[in-house]
Structure 1
Amino acid sequence: MSVELLLCVGSLFLLAGIGVPVAYAILIASMVYVGAAGQGIGIVGKNLLDGIYQSFLLLAVPLFIVAANIMNAGTITDRLLSFCVATVGRFKGGMGHVNVMASLIFSGMSGSAVADAAGIGKIIIDMMRKDGRYPAGYAAAITAASATIGPIIPPSIPMVLYALVSNASIGYLFLGGIIPGLFMGGVLMGMNTWMSHRRGFAVEEPVPLRDLPRKTANAFPALLMPAILLYGIYGGVTTPTEAAAVAAFYALILAGLFYRALSVRALYTIFVESARSSAAVGLVIGGALILNYIVASENIPSILAGSLVAIDISPLVFLLAVNLLLLVLGCFLDATTIILVIIPLFLPTCRELGIDLVHFGVVAVVNCMIGLITPPYGILLFVINAVTGISLREIIAEVWPFLAVLVVALLAMILFPGIVLFLPRLLGYEG
C-alpha cells in the first residue's frame, strides 16, 4: 500500500470519525491522495463530473425518488392500507401482517427503504399503537424490518447503483429481486405470527369479504405501478431510466388527476424535497466515483482478486466471507457507500471465481438493507425514532428477532442461487 493511499484512508476514517458527512469525507480524502501523489487537484472535479454526466442510468435515481415522494402524498397510501387491512388484517397479529404487506406493495413504487419507513411506516405505527394493541417498540421494529424490502422488489435505487459499478443488467437485477423480496416478507410475517401468539397480541375485527372487491378496486391503479415498470423494461418499450420517468409521470397522473389528492403547493414541496434527496445521493456517488478512480490507480481490485484466486478459495466460501464482512460494515456505513465504494473491490474476484454478478448483486443489496436495521447505527432505526418519537432503546430491544430471520433468509439466498436467478433465467438470462 502506497504512502498516498495510506494518507487517503487515514484522512477518510479520521473525518468520518469526527462526524463529517461521508460524501464530504470521501471528497476531502481524495484531494489528500491527489495532492500527495503530485497530481493536479482538478482531476477530482473531472472524475466527479465525468462519472455523473456520462451515466444515463443515474438519471433513474432522482426519478424514482420523485415517484416515491408523490406516491407518499395524498390518499394513495390510505387506499393501499385499506386494501392490506382487508386482506391480511383478519389473521393473528393482523396489523403486523398489514405492516409487512404494505411494505411489499409500496416497495414496487418507491425503491427506497427510507421513503417506505418515513412515509407509510409512520401511519402504520400509529395504527398499531392505537388503544395500546401493540407495544411502541414492537410496532417500530417490524416497520423498520419490513422497510428493508423496499429496495429489493423493483424498482430499486440501490440496484441501479450496483448496476452502475458492475455493468450488470439492471433489468435482470430487478427481476432477481422479486422472489427474494417476497421471501423476506414471508419470513417477517412468520416471525410476526409466532410473536403474536407468544405475546397474545389482539386480533383485528375482520373486514367483511363483500367489501374486498371495492377496496381492491380503490387500490388497483396504485398496484399497477410495478407491472407497468416491468412491462416497460422487459417488453422492450423503455430502458430502465425511461421506465423511471414513466413511473414518476404515472405517479403524478395518479395522485393529481385520478385520485385528486395533490395540490400545486404539495407538488412544489415534493419537487424541493426530491431535489435535496437527489443532491445528497449525488454527492455520495460523486465521491465514490473519485475513490474508485484511486482504487483503480492503486490496482487494488486486481491484487485482491489475484491473491484470493491464488489461495484457491471456493466461490461459496468467498460469498460467505464477503457477506459476513458486509454485515459488519452495515453496522457502521450506509448502503450507498457500501455499494459504491466497498463492493467494487470484490467484483473482479467474482468474475475470476465464476460467481454470477446478478446473484451477487441482489444478495449484496439484501445484505446492505439488513445493515439499515443493525444496531448501533442502522439508519432506519434513527429515521423511525425521528418521525415517531419512539426511543431507540425500545426499537433496538424489539428488532432482534426480525433481524435474525432476515439473516437466515440472506443465508438461504447465498446457498440456493435459484431463489434469485429463477425469474431472470425464466425470461432469458443466461448467467
Structure 2
Amino acid sequence: MIISPFALCIIGIVLLGALGLPIGHAMIVSSIFYLLLKGLDLGTAAEQILNGLFNSYVLLAIPLFILAADLMNIGSLTDRLLRFCLVLVGRFRGGLGHVNVVSNMIFAGMSGSAIADAVGIGRIIIGMMTKENRYPVAYAAAITASAAIIGPIIPPSIPMVVYALVSDTSIGYLFLGGFVPGVMLGIAFMVMNSIIARRRNYPVEPAIPLKEVPRITLRAFPALMLPVILLFGIYGGVMTPTEGAAAAAFYALFASTVLYRAVSWRQLYETILTSSKATASIGMLIAGAMIFNYVVTIENVPASLARLMQGHAMSAPVFMLAVNVLLLVLGCLLEGTTILLIIVPIFIPTAKALGIDLVHFGVVVVVNIMIGLLTPPYGLLLFVLANMTKQPLARIVREAAPFIIMSLIVLVIIATIPDAVLWLPRLFGYKG
C-alpha cells in the first residue's frame, strides 16, 4: 500500500471534519476504517469506547459541572454575584470591566466551563457595560471573552478532568495547581483594563453607599458559599472531585429553587435538556478519542516521538517551548477538548521521560488551550460573543488583542516557573 493505514486514518479525520461531520464522529469512522485496513477485529472499536466511557468514574464530573453551571445561569445567582462584585471593584475607573473579570473569577469556582461563564455572566455584564453607551460593545465583548477563559483554570475545571483522564493525574492536585495561574490571569486582565480605561477615559461607577453593602453581601452569600463548600469539601477529604461536582449541581439546584425561588419547572426541564445535549456532545468526542488513542497506541506514536526527541537531545525547557508553540498554533484551528484528547496524550510519555511534572504540564496545557479560545480564526469564545453582541468578529479580535498578550505573558511565567503552579498543591501534600 502506497499510503499507510495510519496516514489514511489521519486524512479521513481531517476530510470528514472539513466536510462538517462532528470531530468525534470523524474519529470513530476513520479509526474503524483503520482497523478494517489492518485486518483487526472491528469489535475492538466498541470495546474501547465502552470501556473508556463506562469504566471511568472521573468522567461523571463533566455532566455534573455542566448542569451546575446551567442551573446557576437560569437562577438569580449571577445577578447577585455581579451586584456583589460591583461593591468590591465598581468604584474604580473602568469599574464594570473589573466587575466583569472578578465575577468570572468567582463564577469560575462553580462552573468549570468558559462557554458557561461567557453566556451566563456575559449576557448580563455586557448589558450593564453598554447601557447609555458607557463602553463600546466590542470592548465589552472582548473583555467578557477574555475573562471567561479564567473559568476552566480556577477550580473546578472540565478541561482538567479530561486531562486527568488521559494522563492518570490527580484531579485534586490539578485543581489546586490551576488556582494561582487563574488569579494571575485575573490580575493581568484588570491591569490591562485599568490602562485602557484611563487612556479612553471610561466612566467611574457611582460608589455604593456603605449601608447597602451588608444587604448586598447577604443576598449574594448563598451563591458565594458554593465554591467554598465545593473546594473545602474536596481538599478537606470529605468528597472526591466527582462527588464535589454532584454536590455543586445539587447546591445550585437548591439555591436557585428553594433559597432564591427563581426557577420554574419549565426552566428546570429546559436546563436539564440543554445540559444533556452538551454532555452528549462531549461524550461523543471522548468516545472518538478513545478509539483513536487505541490506534495511536497500536502505531506506537508516543514511543516514536519520545525516541525522536531523545535523539535530538531535547531538554525539558526546549520541549515545553515546542509544545506551547504547537498548542498555540493548534488552538487557532482546533477545539480545546479535541487537542486534549488527541494531541496531548502523544506528549505525555515524553514529558515523563524528561522529568516534567505532569500536574505542572497539565495546568500549562489547559491555560494554553484556553488562550486558543480567544485566538482567530477558530476562537470559539470570539464566535459566541460576536453572535451574542452582533458585532463584527474582526472588531472584537482587535479589542481582545491586549488581553491575549497579557494571557501569553502569564503562560510564559507559569511554563518557565513550575513553582507558580506547584506551590499550592505542595502545600496540600503533593510530592511531585
- Whether TM exceeds 0.5 here: the answer is yes
1:47 aligned counterpart, secondary structure? helix
Structure 1 residue 388: deviation in Å?
2.5
Distance across 2 between alignment mates of 1:24 and 1:75 = 37
AA of the residue aligned to 2:156:
P
2:350 aligned counterpart, secondary structure? helix
Q: Which residue of structure 1 lines up, in the alignment, with residue 232 of structure 2?
A: 231
Q: Which residue of structure 2 lines up, in the alignment, with residue 390 of structure 1?
A: 391
Distance across 1 between alignment mates of 2:228 and 2:270 = 28
Distance across 1 between alignment mates of 2:291 and 2:210 = 57
Q: Which residue of structure 2 lines up, in the alignment, with residue 29 of structure 1?
A: 30
Deviates more, 1:67-76 or 1:13-22: 13-22
The 8 Å contact of residues 66 and 248 in structure 1, kept in 2 or not, is answered as yes
1:113-262 matched pairs, under 5 angstroms: 113-262=114-263
Structure 1 residue 430: deviation in Å?
0.7
AA of the residue aligned to 1:138:
Y
Deviates more, 1:228-237 or 1:151-160: 228-237
TM-aligned CA distance change 1:234 to 1:169, over 3 Å: same
1:35-54 matched pairs, under 5 angstroms: 35-54=36-55
Distance across 2 between alignment mates of 1:254 and 1:242 = 18
Q: Which residue of structure 2 lines up, in the alignment, with residue 344 of structure 1?
A: 345
The 8 Å contact of residues 108 and 153 in structure 1, kept in 2 or not, is answered as yes
Distance across 2 between alignment mates of 1:313 and 1:246 = 44
Distance across 1 between alignment mates of 2:380 and 2:117 = 13
Distance across 2 between alignment mates of 1:322 and 1:393 = 28
Structure 1 residue 34: deviation in Å?
1.2
Structure 1 residue 18: deviation in Å?
2.4
AA of the residue aligned to 1:302:
A
The 8 Å contact of residues 171 and 241 in structure 2, kept in 1 or not, is answered as yes
Distance across 2 between alignment mates of 1:346 and 1:167 = 14
Distance across 2 between alignment mates of 1:340 and 1:219 = 37
TM-aligned CA distance change 1:2 to 1:296, over 3 Å: farther
The 8 Å contact of residues 9 and 31 in structure 2, kept in 1 or not, is answered as yes
Q: Which residue of structure 1 lines up, in the alignment, with residue 313 of structure 2?
A: 312
AA of the residue aligned to 2:244:
A
The 8 Å contact of residues 176 and 420 in structure 1, kept in 2 or not, is answered as yes
Question: Per-residue CA shift, 1:133-159, capped at 9, x if unaligned?
Answer: 111110000000000001001110000
Corresponding position: 1:74 with 2:65: no
The 8 Å contact of residues 47 and 289 in structure 1, kept in 2 or not, is answered as yes
Q: Which residue of structure 2 lines up, in the alignment, with residue 63 of structure 1?
A: 64
Q: Which residue of structure 2 lines up, in the alignment, with residue 401 of structure 1?
A: 402
AA of the residue aligned to 1:338:
I
AA of the residue aligned to 1:152:
I
Structure 1 residue 205: deviation in Å?
1.1
Structure 1 residue 386: deviation in Å?
2.0
Question: Per-residue CA shift, 1:158-193, capped at 9, x if unaligned?
Answer: 000000000110000001111111100000000000
Structure 2 residue runs without a partner (length 5+)? none
Distance across 2 between alignment mates of 1:275 and 1:356 = 35
Structure 1 residue 74: deviation in Å?
2.1
Structure 1 residue 206: deviation in Å?
1.4
Structure 1 residue 228: deviation in Å?
1.3
AA of the residue aligned to 2:129:
M
C-alpha RMSD of the superposition: 1.2
The 8 Å contact of residues 87 and 212 in structure 1, kept in 2 or not, is answered as no
Q: Which residue of structure 1 lines up, in the alignment, with residue 106 of structure 2?
A: 105
TM-score of the superposed pair, with normalisation by structure 1: 0.98
The 8 Å contact of residues 359 and 417 in structure 1, kept in 2 or not, is answered as yes
Q: Which residue of structure 1 lines up, in the alignment, with residue 426 of structure 2?
A: 425
Distance across 2 between alignment mates of 1:213 and 1:354 = 50
AA of the residue aligned to 1:124:
I
The 8 Å contact of residues 149 and 184 in structure 1, kept in 2 or not, is answered as yes
Distance across 2 between alignment mates of 1:305 and 1:315 = 12
Distance across 2 between alignment mates of 1:420 and 1:220 = 29
Deviates more, 1:386-395 or 1:398-407: 386-395
Deviates more, 1:230-239 or 1:190-199: 230-239
The 8 Å contact of residues 178 and 363 in structure 2, kept in 1 or not, is answered as yes
Distance across 2 between alignment mates of 1:188 and 1:424 = 24
Distance across 2 between alignment mates of 1:154 and 1:214 = 28
Runs of 4+ in structure 1 over 3 Å off? none
Structure 1 residue 385: deviation in Å?
1.7
Deviates more, 1:9-18 or 1:240-249: 9-18
Distance across 1 between alignment mates of 2:196 and 2:419 = 30
1:265-276 matched pairs, under 5 angstroms: 265-276=266-277
Structure 1 residue 217: deviation in Å?
1.6
The 8 Å contact of residues 370 and 406 in structure 1, kept in 2 or not, is answered as yes
Distance across 2 between alignment mates of 1:60 and 1:421 = 23
Structure 1 residue 79: deviation in Å?
0.3
The 8 Å contact of residues 137 and 389 in structure 2, kept in 1 or not, is answered as no
AA of the residue aligned to 2:182:
G
AA of the residue aligned to 1:347:
I
2:109 aligned counterpart, secondary structure? helix
Structure 1 residue 387: deviation in Å?
2.3
Q: Which residue of structure 2 lines up, in the alignment, with residue 279 of structure 1?
A: 280
Structure 1 residue 210: deviation in Å?
2.6
Structure 1 residue 398: deviation in Å?
0.9
Structure 1 residue 2: deviation in Å?
7.2
AA of the residue aligned to 2:181:
P
Identical aligned pairs, as a percentage?
Answer: 54
2:361 aligned counterpart, secondary structure? helix
Instruction: Report how many aligned residue pairs link the two structures.
Output: 431
The 8 Å contact of residues 336 and 370 in structure 2, kept in 1 or not, is answered as yes
Q: Which residue of structure 2 lines up, in the alignment, with residue 361 of structure 1?
A: 362
AA of the residue aligned to 1:243:
G
Structure 1 residue runs without a partner (length 5+)? none
